[in-house]
Structure 1
Amino acid sequence: MAQYFIDFIITSVLIVGITALMGVIANGIGERIFGGSKRKEHVNESKYIQSGWNLVGGKNKTIS
């Protein structure tokens, strides 16, 4: 009976893990193929909004 539960847990973890990875991979492929010129739209808008903000906290205050 214990072996059944171990197999059930391993199978459950694999199914959930593979499903999660498939979603991330599909999203990445979709952005690269169908993203076009608007692929970085949200990143660029966030950088534009945050430009001029004061850097706070931490020792290294360089922008990457």
Structure 2
Amino acid sequence: MTDIEYAKAIQTKAMVANLEMNAALTTEQQAQIGQDFIADIAELSNRESKQKTLTSMKVDVRMGGLC
């Protein structure tokens, strides 16, 4: 995932969370939407970190070493 794709994914999730917040009827629903949004961003971040690590390892292996 490129930086642009990552930014667009976060932007999309933020837009959806905002729409859901506007439609929420209770503060409990808003709290759940906020928690879900944070979990989604954390998942994206973890996926991005793992992808960068794997890409880095592939480059290291091609260069004859493994970190």
Report the TM-score, using the length of structure 2 for normalisation. Answer: 0.52
- Gaps spanning 5+ residues in structure 1: where? 43-64
**AA matched with 1:28:** L
1:18 positional shift: 1.1
Higher RCO, 1 vs 2 (CA within 8 Å, ≥6 residues apart): 2
**AA matched with 2:37:** T
In 2: Cα distance, 1:27 partner to 1:8 partner: 29
Q: Which protein shows a greater Rg? A: 1
Greater share of helix residues, 1 or 2? 2
In 2: Cα distance, 1:3 partner to 1:27 partner: 36
- Gaps spanning 5+ residues in structure 2: where? 1-26
Identity %, equivalent residues: 5
Q: Which contiguous aligned blocks of 4+ residues in structure 1 show a shift greater than 4 angstroms?
A: none
CA-atom RMSD, angstroms?
1.3
The total of aligned residue pairs comes to 39
